[in-house]
Homo-oligomer: A and B are copies of this chain.
Amino acid sequence: MTDHTSAILKKHEQEMEVRDYECDMADGVNNSVYYNYFEHARHSMLKAGGIDFAELARQRIGLIVARAEIDFKRSLVSGDKFKITTVVRRISKIRFEFSQEIFKLPDLTLIASAKVIGLPIDPSGKPKLTPDLEALILPMLSEVETA
């Protein structure tokens, strides 16, 4: 009779450090650089799972970003170390949602969070998930079980 949800989170963690040239006039990391940080963490996760973005680009297929939402909470400054956590869920047949957070190290202050919707496209630019690519993505997904 109990209704409980247990999530099996497969969380990818990526540690990075702010470089001086990523900071802007106001001394903080330029907002568009956070976008790059999140992208780098997603690519690292996908590569760790066997997906090679450079190779996909050469084949003219890829995982593109359809939508990105970023909430900026605090700012990193030059020299700060931080980690990015990434969890990915399937939200439709061909759409995947990456939930990501940047935490400053060592105190784990939340700096920014993002939700990014990605989907695979074929060489003509149409959304399409090949069985090969699906086989690589499935093991990365966090699952939500309801019992």
> Is A24 within 8 A of B24, CB to CB?
yes
Copies in the complex: 4
Q: Mark A44-58, 1 if CB is under 8 A from B, else 0.
A: 000100000110011
Q: How many residues of A contact B (CB 8 A)?
A: 36
Shortest distance from the beta carbon of A40 to any chain B beta carbon, whole Å: 5
Let me know if A134 is at the binding interface, CB within 8 A. Answer: no
Q: Helix, strand, loop or mixed for chain A's interface?
A: mixed
Residue of B nearest to A67 (CB): B71
Contact of A71 among B21, B23, B66 (CB under 8 A): B66
Asked whether any CB of chain B lies closer than 8 Å to the CB of A64, the reply is yes
Interface presence of A9 (CB below 8 A): no
